[in-house]
Structure 1
């Protein structure tokens, strides 16, 4: 008797078991179409391809011992037929071979079996070995307080256990994980995900597979993507309500009073996704229709909430569908790439309430991630609330407000411009301002936070002045600064292949943009006039430029020249008093530009 083996039964690893038990006695034919399909899958890094090829090797060893003949026959499929494998082209080649050889088809594919019987071909349907998620070996590594399990080839297995914010790394056993053991665990996970209606294979790429196995998010990495095989399984260790995060009644009202744009930010493992799920459930309780956009789909939300994955691998297409569905709120987990921010903004501006989950080390960093990805003036319309989570608690809430004003620290009325105010939700105090300054976007701390920038500015100046005598440092944010020096000294500051400036950046943990100091070597005596409340410094010809004001050789302050060619300084301010004192001493006022 002859048997033609289907791709599915090889991937399942069942055929060698059947031969070993004597359930199959006779010649075995492996279609060239099956071999080609497995080869393509393996070349694309899919575990199913490697699993099927490994099963053929095992089958050959068993067949040699038992004197069973194994042959490779049939037509090798074309590239087009392989591309159309999901449409049944490869299956048809296998059936044609079984019919031609008058052999019995052995398959684990129900559709393949049904079509074969319909065409009068003898077929054996090998049912999938039932694997439930709770019976998989990966689950044996978990305890109730386990947040994640980490299995790596040649390394002892370990896990993170404890509460959010207090997780500790624990070795699970002294024996290292072998490659064979990892392959068995991975195969078991994949089969359980295929069989379980509440599980799914979210991503399958060359060397990387992501599975959502009930509440476990599992990432499987293999060569060539990783240097060794690794399985990482992450599980939320708690399902919490919005109240358990210390959400104030005022913040609750803000969330439900109307559809908003909210960013939930925090470091990895802080509990952002768990909080997002609790917000989704809270919104449902308050009569809002909620959907999610996730990759992978691992938010633990109520059954009434539909969880959408990237349609054909693209969140833009998912957004197109959701705009037709029109939910009141959509949870986007996670907003990371430029395309994610653009999809988030597009849906928000279309009127959908959006809650995005994003990584950030500080609350203000979440807002800075939008700069350059969303038009600056639109940011408050896209995101009006930022909730920062750390160690499972809300530690900061910001609201965003758009206004036109003179930015903090500037004195000239004609320097008024559009400003985004970042306001602390509890104290109602403005902590940061975002605005354009020349071609740069500045995120400027207000009040006490400004001291941090002064410290950073002094640190940069001290480092730079080790190499050049003249420099102008402008701190744009806690992570970015502009250093202007005479153009002829720029190569000296940068160093060979940029190593010197890179070393300064690494030491201070800030990105430094080195620019030529154009014109700041000029000096002119200023004409001073006064009104009842202001000193008026005449700076005709320097409109729009930044100048340093000196009394003799003593530096007083730096200011921007207004469009009318004047600098207006209030007499009751410290700089105004400094000008009065200098004039009383008979000192001359100079502009350095």
Structure 2
């Protein structure tokens, strides 16, 4: 634009109070307050690029943008009352969709307009304020960070309240009590409207941005997560949820390690040797509360402690750095922690594959790790790592599991690696690497974890000794060999497995399949024996003619089932207690085949197979189909 025109416009504006707010003033919800407090008056010019930015963000369902648009609407209402003049100027220009570049370009556009109009630039952005002043632009800087009064939502809390739940068209509710003994109750009779929830949400967002001890952790389309002092607040809205909802959670009590009354033996382990710790328990039982105490304990032991949280809601000493998973990538956190070398890193909590990988990598690099993980019992916490890391690495990554129940430390497990014959087996040549899981206080062997064939198995030793008459190794071997054999035979081939001892199996298959299973010079069967770890005696299925009679002698009762014959499959539905069990199928006392029940409690047979045709013929001719538990089950 011609310099003469600019000069004339500037001179024309000298006698007017002209204020131009930037994006920081609008999205922080400060514009209306500044007008009401008479800090700005006269003419307010909002650049159209700000409207464009708000529209873009609002279409992505970002709360701050929605509230920013509502803020402008309220200021527009003041214009109708002749309190101010509101104008919109400037071109809507296409600019970068990368947020940091977009805001930089937007700030420059607004500065240029303020310079052109010889107006006062109103900003809450410190960098914007410095740049504008250096360019000779008049500014009104609004400092955001100051202590504020309490949130309105805090009125719903008392000393026993852990969380408050507000939802449109519902009465306010709260969860009260103590870990493991929560009660969900109504706290007011009046139903909340969507306007009520929006009002609470707007106040929370605005005050979180103004309070120096608070921050907006995550803002996505449909949800906003805020840490307001010691409150973790989740706001959801349509279309993500079917209505506005606010969930506000706070710790009922901040505990110290002394308050847990731990055994001195456990204290010593935590100080001296525990470096791969899982803190496990069901939701609401106090896992994060314990981790707060543990982090402070390590800090007081002169350890360097850092945390990775999502969101950052642990209440910790200021010397402990808290990183957010929502701001940084796992790769960035990995690099930061490897370079800064803390003594302990606490991950609250381990949820996805990336979290498991981060925990493993940092632990194997020598960092002491503490991970919070949801589990209904201690062994479940360990099993969540199985399959994500090699079994032999598990004790190097996890050495201690602390189970939290009703706010107190329950069972503590320790892990170690050894080489031995699994419990229940007898042959020395079956020895293998085994992860032993022992009760930390009694040293009793609770579980053994090892590979058998292609399976990784977790065997409950105490329970097995009490209730099992058949070695678990036999059942594991039977399942493993059956799955392996079925992979090498045509689909639905009849077969039968018996296991007379821990290290031998009798395999019954049709005569026409025997040669294939044994292989030239016995190579196939030798290879399979080495892989499974047991001897295999292959016999013809036709010779196994007394299966039904043997079952009767053993007083085996037939299994209840529901059969479904459809166009593609014949399905047998069982009670869930039969999952992973082997079932023998008989038609009029004649053995037909053996199959394993799936995790969903069913066995399916294709109608196109020979076995499927036999089952269909049996049904159509009213022949009796009997199902019995297989040998050894």
TM bucket, shorter chain: 0.7 to 0.9
1:76 maps to which residue?
Answer: 92
311 and 58 in structure 1: CA distance in 2 versus 1, 3 angstrom threshold:
closer
1:299 maps to which residue?
Answer: 314
25 and 398 in structure 1: CA distance in 2 versus 1, 3 angstrom threshold:
closer
1:321 maps to which residue?
Answer: 336
2:364 counterpart of 1:349: yes
Looking at structure 2, the residues matched to 452 and 218 of structure 1 have their Cα atoms a distance apart, in angstroms, of 48
Deviation for aligned residue 1:474: 5.8
2:212 counterpart of 1:204: no
2:628 maps to which residue?
Answer: none
151 and 450 in structure 1: CA distance in 2 versus 1, 3 angstrom threshold:
farther
Equivalent position SS for 1:66: coil
8 Å contact 1:332–1:356 — kept in the other structure? Answer: yes
Equivalent pairs, count: 507
- In the TM superposition, what whole-angstrom CA distance separates every residue of 1:424-450 from its partner, at most 9, and x where no partner exists? 112211111111122221111113257
Find the partner of 1:173 among 188, 195, 199: 188
Q: Which moved more, 1:337-346 or 1:284-293?
A: 284-293
Looking at structure 1, the residues matched to 160 and 345 of structure 2 have their Cα atoms a distance apart, in angstroms, of 30
Find the partner of 2:460 among 428, 431, 445: 445
1:263 maps to which residue?
Answer: 278
Looking at structure 2, the residues matched to 82 and 73 of structure 1 have their Cα atoms a distance apart, in angstroms, of 24
1:377 maps to which residue?
Answer: 392
Looking at structure 1, the residues matched to 289 and 407 of structure 2 have their Cα atoms a distance apart, in angstroms, of 9
Equivalent position SS for 1:291: strand
2:38 counterpart of 1:38: no
Looking at structure 2, the residues matched to 382 and 266 of structure 1 have their Cα atoms a distance apart, in angstroms, of 19
2:133 counterpart of 1:108: no
439 and 142 in structure 1: CA distance in 2 versus 1, 3 angstrom threshold:
same
Deviation for aligned residue 1:484: 6.6
1:520 maps to which residue?
Answer: 495
Q: Which moved more, 1:431-440 or 1:73-82?
A: 73-82
| Mapping for residues 280-429 of structure 1, pairs under 5 Å | 280-310=295-325, 312-429=327-444
Deviation for aligned residue 1:278: 1.1
2:569 maps to which residue?
Answer: none
Looking at structure 1, the residues matched to 434 and 385 of structure 2 have their Cα atoms a distance apart, in angstroms, of 15
8 Å contact 1:265–1:360 — kept in the other structure? Answer: yes
> Any stretches of 5+ residues in structure 2 without a counterpart?
1-15, 508-517, 555-580, 582-630
Deviation for aligned residue 1:286: 2.6
> Any stretches of 5+ residues in structure 1 without a counterpart?
458-471, 488-514, 529-533, 559-590
Equivalent position SS for 2:442: coil
| Mapping for residues 22-101 of structure 1, pairs under 5 Å | 24-66=40-82, 70-80=86-96, 83-85=99-101, 88-101=104-117
Looking at structure 1, the residues matched to 437 and 279 of structure 2 have their Cα atoms a distance apart, in angstroms, of 15
Q: Which moved more, 1:280-289 or 1:332-341?
A: 280-289
8 Å contact 2:96–2:102 — kept in the other structure? Answer: no
- In the TM superposition, what whole-angstrom CA distance separates every residue of 1:561-590 from its partner, at most 9, and x where no partner exists? xxxxxxxxxxxxxxxxxxxxxxxxxxxxxx
2:574 maps to which residue?
Answer: none
Deviation for aligned residue 1:334: 0.8
Q: CA RMSD in A?
A: 3.8
Looking at structure 2, the residues matched to 538 and 83 of structure 1 have their Cα atoms a distance apart, in angstroms, of 68
Equivalent position SS for 2:248: strand
87 and 5 in structure 1: CA distance in 2 versus 1, 3 angstrom threshold:
closer
8 Å contact 2:230–2:251 — kept in the other structure? Answer: yes
Find the partner of 1:216 among 222, 231, 235: 231
36 and 308 in structure 1: CA distance in 2 versus 1, 3 angstrom threshold:
same
- In the TM superposition, what whole-angstrom CA distance separates every residue of 1:18-71 from its partner, at most 9, and x where no partner exists? 556766554432211111221222233221100111112222233234396543
Find the partner of 2:291 among 251, 276, 280: 276
8 Å contact 2:231–2:250 — kept in the other structure? Answer: yes
2:161 counterpart of 1:146: yes
8 Å contact 1:291–1:330 — kept in the other structure? Answer: yes
Looking at structure 1, the residues matched to 313 and 125 of structure 2 have their Cα atoms a distance apart, in angstroms, of 28
Find the partner of 1:161 among 151, 176, 179: 176
8 Å contact 2:180–2:405 — kept in the other structure? Answer: yes
- In the TM superposition, what whole-angstrom CA distance separates every residue of 1:112-143 from its partner, at most 9, and x where no partner exists? 344333323333344559562x5111222211
Looking at structure 2, the residues matched to 535 and 75 of structure 1 have their Cα atoms a distance apart, in angstroms, of 83
Deviation for aligned residue 1:402: 1.0
Equivalent position SS for 2:294: helix
8 Å contact 1:77–1:90 — kept in the other structure? Answer: no
2:606 maps to which residue?
Answer: none
Deviation for aligned residue 1:209: 1.8
Equivalent position SS for 2:92: coil
TM-score normalised over the length of structure 1: 0.76
Looking at structure 1, the residues matched to 480 and 70 of structure 2 have their Cα atoms a distance apart, in angstroms, of 56
Find the partner of 1:434 among 443, 449, 461: 449
1:501 maps to which residue?
Answer: none
Equivalent position SS for 1:115: helix
8 Å contact 2:166–2:172 — kept in the other structure? Answer: yes
Q: Which moved more, 1:542-551 or 1:381-390?
A: 542-551
301 and 131 in structure 1: CA distance in 2 versus 1, 3 angstrom threshold:
closer
TM-score normalised over the length of structure 2: 0.71
Looking at structure 1, the residues matched to 290 and 477 of structure 2 have their Cα atoms a distance apart, in angstroms, of 34
